[in-house]
Structure 1
Amino acid sequence: MTRYRLILGASALLGCVAGEAQAATPLIDKIVFGDAASEAAHAVDGSASEHVEAGLGLAARRLPPTGPGARFSGDLKFTLAVDPEIQNYASIRLWGGDVNDGKLTLFCEGRQVGYRHLGDVEILDIGTQAPPFAGRFTYRTFPLPLTLTKGREALDCAIRASGPYGVYTQQFETFQKPMTQPSRPVYALYVHADPFLESGDPTGQAPPLAAAPSAGPDVLDELKARVNREIDRKLAQPGPLNVLEVQFLARAAALSWTRAHANPAVARKVIESGDAFYAHFQADPKSVHVDASRTNADWDAMGPFGRALRLLQADVAPYLDAPVAGLEGAPRRREAYAAMLDAGLGYILTHRRLYTNQSMIVDLGVYWSNEGLRSLASPLARPEPAMRRFFYESMGLAPWTGSLDDAGRPTYSSSAADTGSFRSADDYRLFTKAGLSKELGFVGSYGEILDWATGIYQATASTPGGAGDPALRDQLLKMARARMAFRYPGIDAEGARTMLLEAPVGWRDPVYPGASTYVQKSGWDNTPFNVAVATRDPQLMAIARQALDDGQYYAVLRDRLKDKGQRTTIGLLDAYDEWLAVKAWPKSDVRLPMTQGQPDFVFADPEDGVVAVKNGKEVLYASLYWRANCGVNRLARFHYQTPAVDRIATIASRVDFEPSGKTCVRRATPHISAGSIPIVAYPGEEPAALEGEVLPVAKGPPEARYKDQDNPYAGRGSYYEATYGPYLIAMNAGTKPVAVALPKAAGERLDLVTRRKVAAGAGSLALAPGQTAVIYSPSRQGRR
């Protein structure tokens, strides 16, 4: 029989009594920080921390930096009871109203529990960018490594705070930022056997909603003024512009409210800049794909210039048959620009990229480079259908065939010279049948690529704003509708109603909560209404109206305008005209599916192993294929929100798969569990608690080869199953039927997918290939 050692202070016992009449999860241990009795029972050394009273007036401890400019706090030390024979779970209790982007890390027996960045088991807390759950508590749950707990009844542990993280760097100093404030208050730490924690502690309640964010339509005036100021600066700038500035002027010229519209100075500036591009190309042929003035020039090469030439085709035509200025014996601009565009096109055709947003950016560069050649009437131009086929690959309508070799043949590799260590499967598609991107499983913010997908659709239109390829439009709408399930109700920093992008179950999401998102997430290169206005789809336009009615369109633009960068100015060019289109759209009752009052539903995608559930006032997200980059880790990730409690949990799960006979061994680094993202070494860092764990590798297609431990087959299962609280999720991702064994139940259950009742005595459930069951057991609620 399992032995539970319960070490609780007096106020901890009172906390359980004060909760509503639901059965609390049996505990192995609980520390209430700030409670003298509980801290004494756990040998808490709080000398590096501060005692505070915060959420609901409850005591807690927070960790300040060790000094001005310090990256870390001191350690909050304690002992923690565990069960030596079973899988132990730990949960931390935090206040959902905190806005603090600092980190909290747990160390036990000299080892770091969880990984700093995008690990399948995360550190104790990754911080918050906005209030994730205002007025109430939130819990984060994770498995304690068996290597730490086996044979032990107690662990010597510590919690350490640090500042926020940078990204895309291998240097400690630029990755680990200093602490600018004390950590979030830590209220309690629990150890339990059931991965679902019902703490029995007071929960709080959502605050009254503000009428709307403080931002209003005046942000559109600010946006227009900013764009026109930028146009004036660029047209008055002595000397040439860079490639993105040229594209900016060309796009602005199509907008009637800008000072670039019908302005002959735009064409003159584009030609002046084009001549400078060619001179640079003559001196350095690599300049078409190596350009310090923009990010990832090797992805789109001279595509932005080709786009400008097509958009301004009639305006630049009078200049094209004159020679390039400033070069003795220079060719006509028509031939010079074509040579430059063709060189860039040749490079990116042999350097395509696999991840979906990257593939889209490269293939837009391919297409616009060729459109530039076509607008020049160059014999170097390829037939348009030959370039459009790359769009079909980037949008998941055809298998991704990779870069071309010197003979123009597909290599199924990102680089034509890289086929020895990397080759995609022959039938690998970048999107699932349900419309989600595959990187490698579900991604939240990183999967918000409707901007690039819309750009692909719009590129195939014969005139700006016109209809594009209908097959691309259909696929674009499938993608957009699949993303709609991943926005859930929240409260923004001003206390107003919003819809938040689901991030906790995303493979590449290092922030919580996700951004306010309705139709699409606004970023550097796009507007919040882009896909809705481009397609004029009634459902998407209605959701755009929802954002407008909630006041969140103005709030998003206000926050975007705080970024003074050129890329943001370019990305918001269409925001004003799109606002006019949405404002004029008739109101309807259509809302995002997770909006309160909308019908219950289940969205399931077995290819990404992800599920979204609306069940009354509850929201449940689950990633059953969870950050398994290099092997089967048998972990699932849940985000479960009721009106009173927010829970994020990583738990053990069942994953059936066909073994390859290979294994993946967890590395010593505590930075990231697997994958090709750079590893950052910390001075004197403790090793990862999971170091050395051997993960089996699932079998993939024989022709496929993957490097850097990012393998879309290595950790993938044919069947997934996990139980969390009142929900059992079974997902058949394979090709054969599966019989799901159902546990005994105290009462009738409901399959939320089919809406069919499952009898209490039912022992199994048949699941066809591609089918998902979400079994809801009200008798297992224990919820508030």
Structure 2
Amino acid sequence: MIGSCLFALAGGVGCGNRRLQAVTLPAPTCEDPPPTPLLDQIAFGDSASESAHAFAGDGTILGMGAFGESSRRVGVGAPLIFQLSAAPNAQNYLTVKLWGGDADAAILFLYVADVRVGRFQGDLSELDLNQGEAAYPGRFIYVTYPLPPSATTGKISVPLKIDAVAGASVTAAFGQIDEPLTRPTRPIYAAYVHTDPFFVPPTAEVQGEAPATSTRRAAANYPDFAAAHRDVDTVVATMLGWQLYGDDWNTAVAAGEIPAGLLGLFARGTTTTKFANANAWRNWAVETTTRANAAGLSALGVLAMIHEAPWSTYHRNPEILTRVVQGFDSLALMQGANGAFTNPTWVGAPNRLPAVGSTTEGSGTKYVGRAFVLLAAALEAAGVLDGSVDDDDNRATASVSRRQAWADMFVRHRDFLVSASGRSSNTMYDQSQVEAFWSANEAIALLSPPRALPRDVALVTVRSAVGLGERPTGGLSVSPKGLPLEPRGTLDGGYDGRWGILTLRSICNLAQFTTEPDLKNKCRDAVRAVAQFLYPSSDGGFETLRAEGAITTGYNRNPGFVEYGGNAYAADTLGDEVALRSFRLRLDHHVPLRPPQPLDVHFTEDLVGYLQDLPVLENVATVKSHSTRLPMESGGPDFAWTDEPAGNIAISNCGDRLYGALNWRRGFTDDIADPAHVRVNNVARIHLTRDRLDRIATIVMESPFGFGRFYKATYGPYVVGMNLSSDTQYELPAVGGGASAFDLVQRRPVAGTAVVLVPPSETRILYQQRP
């Protein structure tokens, strides 16, 4: 428990939110490790060094970079080819030297001879991924990568090549994942071969300094929430223009130019003359509504929230209700017979057929149920629920009440969402499916109470999506400490710096909707677990927070996305101090309050999130001071945080900020994603940052007892022993060599001759001290 709770000391808050008395903890002796012994190195652009290493690089771009050092860029069709010495009977590593201020978007790959090592988003990933943003301005980045033993065993040198592509897509057809390079890459300064995975550059190499950051200049009257309210109404007005609603559309329906059942849907840039026949209109409508995980349906959530916002010009506006009603009526006709919406063509009324469906459509449909729940009282008062509607687009059959038609729609969709075709194996998408399920069942309880699932039955499904019960495919989606695990929970998942953090909203929404104490606790835990991975950074020279992106299970990104974490419900209703701090920092950093702009398909989805956050920012703005600090904020105490099921560690120690993932992106045997095919890959990913340099390393680790038991990784002075088992104590061998160590989890010194016992579900991290 010590390791999982130490971060709370930064703000004087204990694991249960109780105030703690300040204590002075033991600390290790901080030392700079000596330079790494090198087997060989090449300085690109240096003629003597290149000549000595069989360099070939016709078409590469020679240049002078930081501190006047030579470098080369990979050109279009022009890789760097060279030969370096290797150890014949050891694991060899290659480290490349890059300048952190370069922002040339490209993906570098390592080759042994002409065979590529690793793949985009694989456990042996790309050598470097630059997405067009300076990762570490003013300083060098050293990227360490394991060389395949098959390339070095019994050999004293290895032929290497560094080539590049412009980008990659995991959704492209096989063989089309790479986007060809069209411009030169970032400069590459040097490459080194060594056997110690922890790279310390030679003493003679010049290192940079962190550039100064400043607080963004605040706009006049910041924070101006009245202006933010007006801006919201402006973008909502734009969104309303996308709805198939109003006189022009009514006229087109009356003229028989479009089906009446499409009124109320949202489609940007559509005119009444887009198609010539009803079938084309219907097919277009279902494809448009359900594309991008049905994200466009979040517009209905925006309508509901803006109708209830007292500051909006749309507050309690009857037209907003009318727009929502038309949207619901159209969805009830569009829906497939199996309750799903996603399909390439129309399968709705009058001849309803099963839709293909999607395990991601809940990302949009969750806003349909939530919109009804928010507006139920207003809809009841307006008398629209008992009005008659044609629920099957067939005039030969009797009309039914809108109450029945909508209840039918929600029942069908609820049942699809919890079917084998509706649940997702992906943590983020499954939580959205379950959020849609819960909101649909709430809507049913309001429309037709006998048809709603009992609360305790529905809660079983909810708990299975947030780590309080087992997933249908096995394992937990969220770790016991609260870390969302992408992509597929404890089976193959871990920390993710994008999708995993986005799940905070679903986890806390479900806590808010259900009001269950254990779900509230999971919301708090998730906010605090994610906070471990947020670090101070720069955004165009201005101070900001970013999410760690180099060890993520999804897309690597360095620097990570600008991200403040937290959650509106956790901050405002639960009063969680870490969540409140995240909102306070947004204001302290003068993050612009402008709402999302209508630029892409996720605009309305982002606007819902903004509308959830805005009132919390208003409340936090009235509090001018806040004692709690996030774990990695400057000036806080050193700590070590571990999450065993995730295989993740976060360390602040002696000026190091270290993030790690053990058995990173381990996947499954034969790519069969089930508990019978879990595996280890003995790959650890490390991101260690100091003030003057940055290290990203993919290294070899040990899992002597297999998946979910005991993992061991050594990276320089850091030795990690992680016990994932619930029933066995393991031993972490003594440091030896006359050296001692300091246990960063228990905050105590360890004799060099001592064997460290690692209890079940705990981790020990030893920081080795020099003899």
Smaller-chain TM-score bracket: 0.7 to 0.9
Q: Deviations over 1:640-682 (max 9, x none)?
A: 111112111111222122xxxxxxxxxxxxxxxxxxxxxxxxx
Matched, 1:358 2:396: no
Counterpart secondary structure, 1:316:
helix
Change (3 A) 1:632 1:276: closer
Match of 1:311 among 374, 383, 390: 374
Counterpart secondary structure, 1:574:
helix
Instruction: Check the 8 A contact 1:61/1:186 in 2, yes or no.
Output: yes
Instruction: Check the 8 A contact 1:127/1:512 in 2, yes or no.
Output: yes
Please tell me the residue identity of whatever aligns with 2:506. W
| Structure 2 residue aligned with 1:54 | 65
| Structure 1 residue aligned with 2:717 | 726
CA distance in 2: counterparts of 1:46 and 1:146, whole angstroms:
26
Instruction: Check the 8 A contact 2:235/2:597 in 1, yes or no.
Output: no
Match of 1:516 among 547, 556, 562: 562
| Structure 2 residue aligned with 1:100 | 104
Alignment of 1:185-264 (within 5 A): 185-200=187-202, 201-212=205-216, 217=223, 220=228, 223-230=231-238, 232-233=240-241, 237=246, 238=249, 239-242=263-266, 243-264=297-318
Alignment of 1:255-654 (within 5 A): 255-281=309-335, 284-285=336-337, 288-290=340-342, 298-299=361-362, 303-317=366-380, 318-324=383-389, 328=395, 329-350=398-419, 351-400=422-471, 402=472, 413=473, 424=474, 428-439=475-486, 440-445=492-497, 446-448=499-501, 449-460=503-514, 468-492=515-539, 494-520=540-566, 529=568, 531-551=570-590, 553-554=591-592, 563=600, 565-630=603-668, 631-654=679-702
Q: Deviations over 1:489-508 (max 9, x none)?
A: 2222x112222211222222
| Structure 2 residue aligned with 1:742 | 734
| Structure 2 residue aligned with 1:164 | 167
Shift in Å at residue 198 of structure 1? 1.0
Counterpart secondary structure, 1:126:
strand
Structure 1 regions of 5+ residues with no counterpart?
Answer: 1-19, 66-72, 403-412, 414-423, 461-467, 521-527, 658-697, 699-715
Counterpart secondary structure, 2:241:
helix
Q: Deviations over 1:134-163 (max 9, x none)?
A: 110011111100111122222232211210
CA distance in 2: counterparts of 1:600 and 1:632, whole angstroms:
30
Instruction: Check the 8 A contact 2:435/2:510 in 1, yes or no.
Output: yes
Shift in Å at residue 229 of structure 1? 1.9
Instruction: Check the 8 A contact 2:91/2:195 in 1, yes or no.
Output: yes
Change (3 A) 1:55 1:728: same
Counterpart secondary structure, 2:721:
strand
Change (3 A) 1:600 1:363: same
Shift in Å at residue 717 of structure 1? 4.0
Shift in Å at residue 459 of structure 1? 2.0
Shift in Å at residue 474 of structure 1? 1.2
Counterpart secondary structure, 2:164:
strand
Please tell me the residue identity of whatever aligns with 2:718. Y
Higher alpha-carbon deviation: 725-734 or 177-186? 177-186
Shift in Å at residue 225 of structure 1? 4.3
Q: Deviations over 1:70-111 (max 9, x none)?
A: xxx422222222222221110111111122331111211221
Instruction: Check the 8 A contact 2:229/2:311 in 1, yes or no.
Output: no
Instruction: Check the 8 A contact 1:300/1:366 in 2, yes or no.
Output: no
Higher alpha-carbon deviation: 119-128 or 446-455? 119-128
Q: Deviations over 1:490-545 (max 9, x none)?
A: 222x112222211222222332221122234xxxxxxx756423533233212321
CA distance in 1: counterparts of 2:182 and 2:739, whole angstroms:
52
Higher alpha-carbon deviation: 494-503 or 529-538? 529-538
CA distance in 2: counterparts of 1:637 and 1:323, whole angstroms:
60
CA distance in 2: counterparts of 1:31 and 1:562, whole angstroms:
46
Counterpart secondary structure, 1:491:
strand
Change (3 A) 1:222 1:54: farther
Change (3 A) 1:179 1:256: farther
CA distance in 2: counterparts of 1:287 and 1:391, whole angstroms:
19
Q: CA RMSD in A?
A: 2.8
Higher alpha-carbon deviation: 181-190 or 209-218? 209-218
Instruction: Check the 8 A contact 1:102/1:126 in 2, yes or no.
Output: yes
Change (3 A) 1:262 1:225: closer
CA distance in 1: counterparts of 2:690 and 2:580, whole angstroms:
29
| Structure 1 residue aligned with 2:14 | none
Give the TM-score normalised by structure 2: 0.79
CA distance in 2: counterparts of 1:348 and 1:22, whole angstroms:
54
Match of 2:89 among 85, 89, 94: 85
Counterpart secondary structure, 2:651:
strand
Shift in Å at residue 443 of structure 1? 2.1
Please tell me the residue identity of whatever aligns with 2:49. S
Counterpart secondary structure, 1:312:
helix
Counterpart secondary structure, 1:750:
strand
Change (3 A) 1:390 1:159: same
Instruction: Check the 8 A contact 2:108/2:127 in 1, yes or no.
Output: yes
Change (3 A) 1:357 1:629: same
| Structure 2 residue aligned with 1:148 | 151
Q: Deviations over 1:538-592 (max 9, x none)?
A: 33212321232123x338x688776573333343233432321221234122111
Instruction: Check the 8 A contact 1:299/1:352 in 2, yes or no.
Output: no
Instruction: Check the 8 A contact 2:512/2:569 in 1, yes or no.
Output: no
| Structure 1 residue aligned with 2:49 | 38
| Structure 2 residue aligned with 1:176 | 178
CA distance in 2: counterparts of 1:589 and 1:155, whole angstroms:
55
Counterpart secondary structure, 1:578:
helix
Instruction: Check the 8 A contact 1:98/1:128 in 2, yes or no.
Output: no
Counterpart secondary structure, 1:573:
helix
CA distance in 1: counterparts of 2:628 and 2:366, whole angstroms:
38
Match of 2:118 among 91, 97, 114: 114
Please tell me the residue identity of whatever aligns with 1:772. T
Match of 1:28 among 33, 39, 47: 39
Change (3 A) 1:731 1:278: closer
Please tell me the residue identity of whatever aligns with 1:639. H
Change (3 A) 1:248 1:430: same
Give the TM-score normalised by structure 1: 0.78
Counterpart secondary structure, 2:770:
helix
Aligned identity (percent) is 28
Q: Deviations over 1:719-743 (max 9, x none)?
A: 1112111111112222222222123
Structure 2 regions of 5+ residues with no counterpart?
Answer: 1-30, 250-262, 267-296, 346-356, 487-491, 669-678
Shift in Å at residue 393 of structure 1? 1.7
Instruction: Check the 8 A contact 1:435/1:475 in 2, yes or no.
Output: yes
